[in-house]
Amino acid sequence: MPWPFTRNSPLSARAPAAESSLSCSSRFAFKLFRELSRQGDAPNLFLSPPSVMLCLALVHELASGETRREMLSALEIRGLDRAGLELEISTLKSAFATRPGAVTSLANSLWSSKHVQIAADFQSRLRALYDSEVTTLDFAASDAVPTINS
């Protein structure tokens, strides 16, 4: 029996299987997988849809206008109220909960230009909901952007 997730399998993620019954994060995961699997000919694809969704949802929090509307659609969260979005984010974060034999942690960070002011209530929301740090940097300075390990 062939591996059920190969490109030639009839069980491919390209089939929109009753997506209306899936959670927002599941619909996003399948949509992301379909899109990324179209790119190139690599037979293996490894990604963490919850990680991608959490990062994009964090950016969505500060988006407005057409960008915000497009992100609502892309993230499959159109129609969720604030409480519904918070529940979805909490559910996603639970995928990273520490388990026996494994320790995980979230490391979300939002870096903004010193020319952008993020209101204190937004910063509090990002810290509370996404466990995110908010850092203001001078991107014009050559040494402003720290390396991932610093």
pLDDT digits 0-9 by tens, 26-76: 999 999 988 888 876 667 778 888 889 999 999 999 899 999 999 999 999
Residue 82 burial by CB count (10 A; 0-12/13-18/19+): exposed, middle or buried?
Answer: exposed
Residue 150 lies in a domain: no
Q: How many domains does the chain have?
A: 1
Query: Which stretches of the chain are assigned E, i.e. beta strand?
Result: 108-113, 132-137
Residues 6 or more apart whose CB falls under 8 angstroms from that of 28 comprise 49, 53, 74, 75, 76
Q: Looking at per-residue confidence, does 1 or 94 come out higher?
A: 94
Looking at residue 75, its pLDDT comes to 94
Domain CATH for 30: 3.30.497.10
Q: What is the pLDDT of residue 148?
A: 53
Residue 5 covered by a domain: no
**Can you give the pLDDT at residue 42?**
67
What is the domain extent for residue 51?
23-96+104-137
Q: Establish if 85 belongs to a structural domain.
A: yes
9 part of a folded domain: no
The pLDDT of residue 96 is above 90: no
133 located within any domain = yes
| Assigned domain for 50 exists | yes
Say if 75 falls within a structural domain: yes
pLDDT of 90 > 70? The answer is: yes
User: Could you give the CA distance from residue 76 to residue 80 in angstroms, rounded to a whole number?
Assistant: 9
Average pLDDT on 109-122 reads 88
Which residues are registered as beta bridge partners of 99? 102
| Predicted local confidence at residue 10, as pLDDT | 42
Domain assignment of residue 116, yes or no: yes
Between 40-44, 76-80, 135-139, the lowest mean confidence (pLDDT) is in: 40-44
